[in-house]
Structure 1
């Protein structure tokens, strides 16, 4: 993981986006949009291929032949979301970049449709290996995209040489997802600023550079 009048969160594909391609691409777009709607409304356990076909206004045979299972639909949806994500920020400072990342996560998780969609996909990943693998790939793509913020900061001398870029980016989103999924906390910009500041401070201290000794 929206009302037609509300813009989608940055970095997340808006439902109904028209992309270039032939009939196959249009069918995939319609089916994935319908899958996302169904997941957001009813969760993974209620995801039904016939219902998705009806929502997408395509033949059931097409959906069953191309995807076959709800898990395959969820996996393709995650792959599509990763492909459509916007590129990382480049504010000129590591803390500014990490704050942009944190705010993106908060806007996504607090969006009525996308928040429910991500909750459904995370829940599905706990019991379905195919969805779990797809979710892992989704986050790998996003973390790799934002890792450039850290490597740029190292090049500028803001962070120690050898800083693990992926670890820093993951440290930004981890507390936000924990609050969203485990605590049920209403995420705000305060959470975004705190997460970004904590990750940037730890990175500057060499927590992920190998420069600090283990306790």
Structure 2
């Protein structure tokens, strides 16, 4: 993460404070609202500045491009995401993760925002990189829950902890993107149960852990 004032920092990546933090929050909120309401194609820096009640020059100078703004929005979302829940069992932890993802995707604003960003990532390299970073941060946050399950003997040693976490959210995103339906809590629980069962059966062993 770039420090404030670092030379050569990408637009929108310098960590703000004080008034700069308030400006950043207002602009990112306006960008998120526009993405949720109208999609990536209608994201315009001048319009974002107007909605955020911030000078257009400030927005152009700080973020430079729409993709730079979206990258910063995803960085902020990753930083603001709730920390992992530890229940003492693999299924309990994965269910907590799945329900968190489900609530996010079922939220009218957040669900629409993620759909817009995912769509943009298919053709915008910087947006794709920012989206990968967002999910890398979230998977890294929850992976220790799977490692704790390995340590407790719930799942085999050599289990790929990151793949287990990805397996939890994958069906929820698939449902949202292919059907347009917001996943419900029952779908979240099924995703967690399937991932936990597969992990216990050794489906996510790294190659070196397979016999």
2:139 to 140, 143, 146: 143
Aligned ranges for residues 28-67 of structure 1 at < 5 Å?
A: 28-67=24-63
How many residue pairs are counted as aligned between the two chains? 194
* 2:129 pairs with one of 133, 155, 158: 133
Normalising by the residue count of structure 1, what TM-score does the alignment of the two structures yield?
0.87
The unaligned stretches of length 5 or more in structure 2 are 1-15
Counterparts of 1:35 and 1:184 in 2: how far apart (Å)?
A: 22
1:30-109 to structure 2, matched below 5 A, reads 30-109=26-105
Moved segments of 4+, more than 4 Å: 210-213
Q: CA deviation at 1:182?
A: 1.3
What is the CA–CA distance in structure 1 between the aligned matches of 2:62 and 2:176, rounded to whole Å? 33
Instruction: Return the offset for 1:156.
Output: 1.1
Give the Cα separation in 1 of the matches to 2:199 and 2:59.
46
Residue-by-residue CA offset, 1:58-109 (whole Å, 9 max, x unaligned): 1000000111111111000000100111110101100000001111111100
Aligned counterparts of 1:43 and 1:184: Cα–Cα separation in 2:
15
The CA deviation at 1:162 is 1.1
Q: Write the deviation string for residues 136-194 of structure 1: whole angstroms up to 9, x where unpaired.
A: 00000000100011001111111111110000000001111111101223411111111
How far apart in 2 are the matches of 1:121 and 1:74? 8
Aligned with residue 185 of structure 1, among 169, 172, 181: 181
Give the CA RMSD over aligned residues: 1.2
Which residue is 1:116 aligned to? 112
| In the alignment, structure 1 residue 200 sits paired with structure 2 residue 196 | yes
Structure 1 unpaired stretches of 5+: 1-19
